[in-house]
Amino acid sequence: MVSFDSILQSCKIKDSDGRPLLGAGHIEAVCRQVGHRWRDGKLPPGETVQCLMRQMAQGNASCAAVRQMHGGAFSGEAYCQARQRLPLEVLEKLNHDVSEAVMKKARQRGSECDRCQWKGHDIFINDGSSFTMSDTPELVEHFGLHSNQKAGCGLPLCHLLFQTGPGGAATRAICSPYRTGDMTDINQVQETLKPGDVVLGDRLFSNWGHLALLGQRGAFGLFKMHHSRKALFGSHQDYGPSRRFVKKLGHKDQLMEYLKPAQRPAWMSLEQFDSMPGSIQVRELQVKVKINGRRKTLTLVTTLLDRQKYPADDLVELLGQRWNIELDLRHLKTTMGLDQVRCKTVEGVKKELLAYLLVYNIVRLVMLNAAERQHVSLERISFADALAWVRHQPESAELINLLINPKRTGRIEPRVIKRRKKSFPYMSKPREKLRKELVRKARTP
């Protein structure tokens, strides 16, 4: 049976007291820190966390399946109750510790790791996504349904704001109601940032408030320009009331001043808004690139202002790393099974998400060690093969060579489904009404 503490021990990952980072001793110490108390039994906190991680590693198997994994040592109901007793703060602290271990390992590799550091900066990537969950009144009320869904016909949806760090570590993930914007929880996600870090993301994150927030933390941002702004260059242009030309740095490369808006962004607190400076300096540049045989024009916004240290071509190459988070989300949702969680309470959904992140970070750590042993870049190591090893390796087994993906530069694949679905119609009425219709049809001669 897989033992996650033994995996970390084989990777030489321990806490400050020399204990395995996911061993019973460390987990119980974290429980004491948050004030959690428990009785001795078959499912103490250390064993409960291990069971929870095994459950998510197996694609979110049922609680009855977890019972079978342990030879019937406890019932599925007892395990479910042990999960409920486990404080959410314990899983948050454990994921923080494991993600820090992944990032530390990535920093040790330095320039040898393609997702570790760039010109001495740690790279963090943000993106939003969603996943579905069980159709219970509590989850529907808290998270909500898609706008086109009728009550009783769809599944509640969760908005997920996800951040990865060096080595692909999952540093934070915030689940919130479906109609929540990506910027709403950005303050919580970026609490882990340090001075000098660089944040990548899509166009939405290129707004004044986010760039000013990064500046307050001493961090930098690099994004595509938002589609609502006009890409203008030169001192003679009319930039409107929110932007002001400062200096030309090169061909279609200029220093701009973004002015503080009169109205506070909805996601920013009043205290935070008042502490922001009246203006920030931002670099805007436009670069022509060739992507998959087609020439495209990219307009970038960044707070990396030094043109000599951060030339345009290097910034374009760095921004290309943003697509890594799309692969990370695919690994979480499709390969691991996060696209649909099982729990029927809000707190339970958050616990499942954190358990997924713990397993994901363990897999990332295994990939880093495999990349070092096999002398290849991190992104060449197969995530699916690393997950399979984590799922099925015998206790205290040494890491074997993992599959290496071929280089797929310029690869293009259509987003289509080949396997035909069942010809059942989608649910357009509540299940109770559909049952009555079936009974009525059966009685009709």
Distance of CA 232 to the CA centre of its chain: 34
The 3-state DSSP class for residue 376 equals coil
Residue type, 92: E
**Six-digit token string for 388:** 């399979």
State the average pLDDT over residues 248-274. 94
The pLDDT, as a whole number, for residue 112 is 60
pLDDT at 13 (0 to 100): 75
3-class SS of residue 51: helix
Residue range 272-278: mean pLDDT, rounded: 93
Listed range (22-31, 91-100, 111-120, 418-427) with the worst mean pLDDT? 111-120
Q: Specify the pTM.
A: 0.92
Do residues 412 and 23 lie in contact, with contact meaning Cβ atoms separated by under 8 Å?
no
Q: What is the mean pLDDT of residues 280-288?
A: 95
Model confidence at 12: pLDDT above 80: no
Q: Which of residues 79 and 396 earns the better pLDDT score?
A: 79
Domains identified in the chain and CATH numbers: 87-392 (3.90.350)
Q: Which of 155-164, 345-354, 417-426 has the lowest mean pLDDT?
A: 417-426
Rounded to an integer, what distance in angstroms lies between the CA atom of residue 129 and that of residue 339? Answer: 10
SS3 content of the chain, % helix, strand, coil (to 5): 40, 20, 40
Helix (H, G, I), strand (E, B) or coil at 378: helix
Q: Does position 395 have pLDDT exceeding 70, yes or no?
A: no
Instruction: Select the more confidently predicted residue: 147 or 12.
Output: 147
Do residues 147 and 105 lie in contact, with contact meaning Cβ atoms separated by under 8 Å? Answer: no
Higher pLDDT, 208 or 1: 208
Query: Under 8 Å CB-to-CB from 139, ≥6 apart: which residues?
Result: 133, 156, 344, 345, 346, 349
